[in-house]
Structure 1
Amino acid sequence: MKILVSGKGGCGKSTISAMLGKYLAEKGYRVLIIDADESNPGLYRMLGLPKVKTLAEHLGGKKRAKILMAAEGKGELDEELFNWTLDDIPDEILAKKGNLAVLTIGKIEEAEEGCACPYGFLARKLLEGIKLQENEVIIVDTEAGIEHFGRGVDKHVDVVVDVAEPSLESIELSKKIAGLSESLGLKHILVLNKALPGVEEKLPVKPDVIIPFDQSFIVDSLNGKEVEPIDQIETLWKSIAGRIHLFSP
């Protein structure tokens, strides 16, 4: 199964991706988290893992990714490029802990280096080509907003976990994400994060999962602590499994 986590900047996408990845790994699934956010560097820290070489670096850098992207536009790309299983992914681009691994597509490192489109291309081709077994799960932590829909990354996943916070801007974006997901035939699950008491009744949409605001997450982050799954992550997983009729390993 391939799960994409989407939402407004700062809503908690990486935190939820990390917690869900840990939860599933503890349940016996083999989990790969794909860091497709070109700016946020925090996912490794959240999981207590070291940074490793990115997929873009492994392939020869951003310029090489641009060449591959241009080749696809001309119909000249080798479509076997990412015809991988989880076992085929090179070790130098995987940070691992037990059943859990993280792969980063690429990061913006320099001023004026250009747009992140080549990284979106790599994420799309990787998700398109990679083959999973029944007990394997990919979680894609995306950049803020909905550009990944425009890049076609979402076309190759099974379900979109839409993370919103209790603000009008975030809820309006979630409505857009729901519509885009539906247009691709994807299951859509809405998670309301950082929820204060009484806020649910004021929402124009009904969340599938509600995660209360907890200041300890902020304190733990400032102290560099790993995240650990909370009870609502089990609820989230049950929502995902129920939507796609999945059974536990």
Structure 2
Amino acid sequence: MMQRIAVSGKGGSGKTTISGTLARLAGRRLGHVLAVDGDPNPNLGRAMGVQHDGVWPLLPTNLMKVEEIDGKRVSKLALPVQQILTEHTVAGPDGVQLLALGEVDEPSKGCLCSRHGMVREIVGAAVEEADQAVILDMEASLEHMRRGTVRHVDKLLVVTEPYYRALESAGRLVKLAREMGLKEIYGVANKVRTPAEEEVVLNYFKTLDIPVIAVVPFDDTVTAADLEGKPVLDYNPQAPSIRAVSGMLDRLMA
């Protein structure tokens, strides 16, 4: 059974393309998947081919409540998670529901801290209460680690390209994820052109004691699909990157 999977990585690493592809392939197998865009600059809907006007509404602030439990103030969802998913998701292809953290539509209006909290609790409840597998596409910064947005996920995928700055960013993510207590952390090597580049990523994750669950080759199809405004999965279902993500899904579900 697939559970809650978060996809994280440096900006430009390709994590959103991987997240969208992974969600749709999982939807084809499972019949229903919740894809969560955890980035306030949302792109997951486009990557999946969701038919929408592209303006993702902010989640309302009344979805959370504070209760006192054993003398501690605890934030919890104010509504059943199934009701939230019914009222605040957009239907996507292949049985995928899309929930977006929401985009920043005005400057100098404060942080989105409360919405990170909502996403965290929705992800935490989705499997047990709504029988939903979850693919969570995180923002490129480390903010989601600070806010604990990925606290309830079962698996964290750290996507990296084969060059030093991307690997260094991956190392920071792994460190914070371990400090948060996440047990299943996997590396994903993306945009790999040569065996030498693959070896660099494999060796780096080996030093972190993190298994690499997939090596996704550099694929010109991704650029061609984006130029036409299409998901790679629709543009060419047999593209090398699609085959690699499908193999990763096999391993995740196993």
The interval holding the TM-score normalised by the smaller chain is: 0.7 to 0.9
Structure 1: how far apart are the matches of 2:187 and 2:174?
Answer: 8
| Equivalent in the alignment of 2:147 | 151
CA RMSD of superposed structures (Å)? 2.8
Structure 2: how far apart are the matches of 1:8 and 1:88?
Answer: 30
CA apart distance, 1:156: 0.8
TM-score, normalized by length of structure 2? Answer: 0.80
8 Å CA contact retained: 1:17, 1:139: yes
Structure 1: how far apart are the matches of 2:127 and 2:243?
Answer: 30
CA apart distance, 1:144: 0.3
| Equivalent in the alignment of 2:18 | 16
Structure 2: how far apart are the matches of 1:220 and 1:43?
Answer: 15
8 Å CA contact retained: 1:38, 1:119: no
State yes or no: 1:114 paired with 2:106: no
CA apart distance, 1:46: 2.0
Q: Which runs of 5 or more residues in structure 2 are unaligned?
A: 207-211
TM-score, normalized by length of structure 1? Answer: 0.81
Cα distance per residue 1:159-202 (max 9 Å; x no partner) = 00111011211111212222333331330111011111121223
Q: Which runs of 5 or more residues in structure 1 are unaligned?
A: 243-249
How many residues are matched? 232
8 Å CA contact retained: 2:138, 2:144: yes
CA apart distance, 1:55: 6.5
State yes or no: 1:83 paired with 2:80: yes
Structure 2: how far apart are the matches of 1:97 and 1:227?
Answer: 13
Structure 1: how far apart are the matches of 2:45 and 2:130?
Answer: 26
Structure 2: how far apart are the matches of 1:30 and 1:8?
Answer: 28
8 Å CA contact retained: 2:10, 2:166: yes
8 Å CA contact retained: 2:126, 2:134: no
| Equivalent in the alignment of 1:232 | 244
Structure 2: how far apart are the matches of 1:129 and 1:54?
Answer: 22
| Equivalent in the alignment of 1:170 | 166
Greater relative contact order, per chain length (Cα 8 Å cut-off, separation 6+): 1
8 Å CA contact retained: 1:5, 1:139: yes
| Equivalent in the alignment of 1:214 | 219
